[in-house]
Amino acid sequence: MTRRADGELETDVLRALWDLGRPASPSDVIDQMSTDLAYTSIATILGRLCDKGLATRQRAGRAFVYSAASSEADLTAQRLRTVLDSASDRQSALAGFAEALDPADAALLATLLNDAK
């Protein structure tokens, strides 16, 4: 069995919630992921995502159903802001990010920045 990188399973479970687009049980998540992981493993990950504020849960009979707390785009933007806020040299961090973008992404970012003004 191949070991997953740290956070990879949480990301896969979140992606399944985003793809489902509705409150989902651990069984729904397992089906969406097409995985052979145990129900209890997925339920544990869903609980951890709730503890981190990345998912929400609500009662559905005797069990819980889970939803992503935000969209993938919103979570990614928040993570980018967090990384940028932790940089001691914000300008250099932004410059390094901009230089690493491929030309299509750089053009899209420029358009988005112009539209935001």
- Give average pLDDT by consecutive 10-residue segment, the chain, 117 residues: 77 97 98 95 97 97 96 94 95 94 95 91
Token digits for 52?
Answer: 């981190």
Strand ranges for 7-117 from DSSP E: 55-60, 63-68
pLDDT at 38: 96
The model's pTM: 0.80
CATH of domain 8-68: 1.10.10.10
pLDDT at 70: 96
pLDDT at 7: 84
C-alpha span between 73 and 79 (Å, rounded): 10
What are the φ and ψ backbone dihedral angles of 25, each rounded to 5 degrees? -85, 165
C-alpha span between 49 and 107 (Å, rounded): 34
